[in-house]
Amino acid sequence: MVIPDTPPQHLDLTTVASDLAVRDLLTRTRDWLRAHALPDETCGTVELVLAEALNNIVEHAYPPDAPGAIRLALQHGPTHLVCILSDHGTALPGGVLPDGTLPDHDVARDALPEGGFGWFLIRDLTDRLDYRRDAGWSHLTLEFRLPAL
């Protein structure tokens, strides 16, 4: 009997916050998702949401001259993919998840939004979100329902 090579159910990555470190984490995550034979659309959704959450940590949790640790833990379950992003930088304002209202696009060209899409995309594309602060660390849990095989 041939036992197929199955990729590990967990992926645990740690890095120091920077734009290029985000790219590296996303590339390694996408490779791992592909190894689990997830559809391209799901891989793209997860990559986009993690990019937005990671960019927020790089931009807002740590000062540019003192970047700190980011940990990304992924768990591939039977029905869901669970991602936990942790950092020990500044907490989210008020300790709560931002609303993520979509900026108005029906405006004059000069007034078109150049940002403010991140939390909208995170909220729109996840099936469950949770944020908690514990002992100086922020933990953001992002869950994605996986398409039935």
Partner 1 sequence: MDLHATHHPDLTIITVAEARIDAAAAIRFKDAMRAATATGAGHVVLDLGNVTFVDSSGLGAIVAAMKQMGSERRLDLACLTPDVAKVFRLTRMESVFTIHDDLRRLHSRATG
Give DSSP secondary structure letters for 9-70: SEEEEEEE--HHHHHHHHHHHHHHHHHTT--HHHHHHHHHHHHHHHHHIIIIIS-TTS--EE
Judged by CB, which is closer to partner 1: 47, or 86?
A: 47
Q: How far is the CB of 90 from partner 1 (least distance, A)?
A: 18
**Consecutive H or E run containing 83:** strand 80-87
Among 65, 99, 110, 134, binds partner 1 (CB under 8 A): 110
Q: Does 23 sit near partner 1 (CB under 8 A)? A: yes
DSSP 121: H
Among 35, 100, 117, 137, binds partner 1 (CB under 8 A): 117
Judged by CB, which is closer to partner 1: 58, or 74?
A: 58
What's the CA gap between 34 and 130, in Å, rounded?
25
- 39's CB contacts (< 8 A; 6+ apart) are 147
Stretch that binds partner 1, among 6-14, 45-53, 63-71, 91-99 (CB under 8 A): 45-53
Among 78, 94, 115, 136, binds partner 1 (CB under 8 A): 115
Task: By CB under 8 A, name the binding residues for partner 1.
Answer: 19-20, 22-23, 40-41, 44-45, 47-48, 51-52, 55, 58-59, 102, 105-106, 109-110, 112-118, 120-121, 124-125
